[in-house]
Amino acid sequence: MYRQILIRPEERKYQRILWRFSPSDPVQIYQLNTVTYGISSSPYLAIRTLLQLAKTEELNFPVASEVISSDIYIDDIVTGHNSLENAKTLRDEIVTIMGRAQLELHSSVALAWICSSPHRWKPFVGNRVSYIQDRLPSPCWHHVKSQSNPADCASRGLFPLELFNHPLWWNGPEWLRGPITPDHCLSEDPIIDSSYQTIVSQEEREVVLTVTVPPLCISLLDRYSSLLKIQRVLAYCIRFVYNLKHPAQRKITPLTSSELHHTMNVLVKVNQVAFAEDINNLQKEVPCSKPLRKLNPLFRPPGYSQGGRSSASRTT
């Protein structure tokens, strides 16, 4: 737990270390950024951090905050409840509080991160997962159960006589001295329960996918070559939207001339977007682009342009 509690930057200068890897190397100066083992103030800082965390989360998790304030010894929680259901709820709340402060995270959580692609996680976790996987592939990582973990002998406490002849403490787990089998120590699922799943998901990267969908009119123009068909399809689409907005006035008759005329105006306006510069020039009585000059286009309200080459028509 110590290494998960940061020291204020202005106080880190008091935790400096002089180090060199060989007698011929120059002495290098390091400073420790977290609470450090062996310093007399470290136990106080660790417990004080937990008490502050309990106070901060008191309104959200009153029962769990009380347990953190009174039922913790070093980094072990010794508590209980009057029912199994309440005990599970209390456990989940404690895990959530610790997860928010990134303290006392279960090793299964770290395993879940390591066994997944780094791109799934936010930068802090993703960068470290990538670093680990570059040096040791994820299939090489497994979860050691508590009953096979020698560190638990010290953290959970043993009597001196038990420790003196304790095989796990002195020799390590049996599976290290023989073939590794899943039944010995490896968890089939690194995520033990839903409470740890919540902590894992908190580090998942949010991916936003932006899709550009062309307007319906443009899609119809790309799909059909018949203007009459485009006009009628779009007219039915416009009617469909109208019926959704006005269920009491639904239109079920064949398309009317006014609907078709309105649809044609919509199509003209959509197409004129491509000629916005030419229309602006026509409004200012400035010559338009050369390809359109041959048509002698004119401008008339409410914003439509029409060809001026009536001499080229086939009328008599």
Tokens matching residue 284: 């200012």
Give me 265's structure tokens.
Answer: 């105006």
pLDDT digits (tens, 9 = 90+) for 110-145: 777 788 888 888 887 788 888 888 888 777 777 777
Residue 186 pLDDT: 43
Per-residue pLDDT reduced to its tens digit, 184-195: 444 444 444 555
| Crossing angle for the helix pair 62-70 and 84-101, to the nearest 10 degrees | 80
> End of a domain among 165, 180, 202?
202
What is the pLDDT confidence band of residue 311, given thresholds at 50, 70 and 90? low
Beta bridge partners of 31: 16
Residue 211 lies in a domain: no
Question: How confident is the model over 45-54, as pLDDT tens digits?
Answer: 888 888 988 9
Q: pTM score, two decimals? A: 0.39
- Which residue is listed with tokens 């279960």? 106
pLDDT score of 256: 93
Residues 225 and 197 in one domain: no
Burial of 152 (0-12, 13-18, 19+ CB in 10 A): middle
Residue 210 lies in a domain: no
Place of tokens 């998960």: 4
Q: How many domains does the chain have?
A: 2
In a shared domain, residues 256 and 137: no
Q: What is the pLDDT of residue 198?
A: 59
List % helix, strand, coil for the chain (3-state, nearest 5): 55, 10, 35
CA gap 216, 214 in Å, rounded: 6
Clarify whether residues 18 and 124 are in a common domain: yes
Regarding whether 73 and 138 lie in a shared domain, the answer is yes
Amino acid 5: pLDDT: 86
- Mapping DSSP onto H, E and C, the string for 208-264 reads CCCCCCCCHHHHHHHHCCCHHHHHHHHHHHHHHHHHHHCHHHCCCCCCCHHHHHHHH
For 15, counting Cβ atoms within 10 Å of its Cβ (0-12 exposed, 13-18 middle, 19+ buried), the class is: middle
Same domain assignment for residues 11 and 82: yes
pLDDT, tens digit, 9 for 90 and up, residues 237-255: 999 999 999 989 999 999 9
Supply the range of the domain harboring residue 304: 216-312
pLDDT of res. 188:
44
Tell me how crowded residue 148 is: count the other CB atoms within 10 A of its CB: 17
Please tell me the predicted confidence (pLDDT) of residue 307.
Answer: 56
Q: What is the pLDDT of residue 191?
A: 45
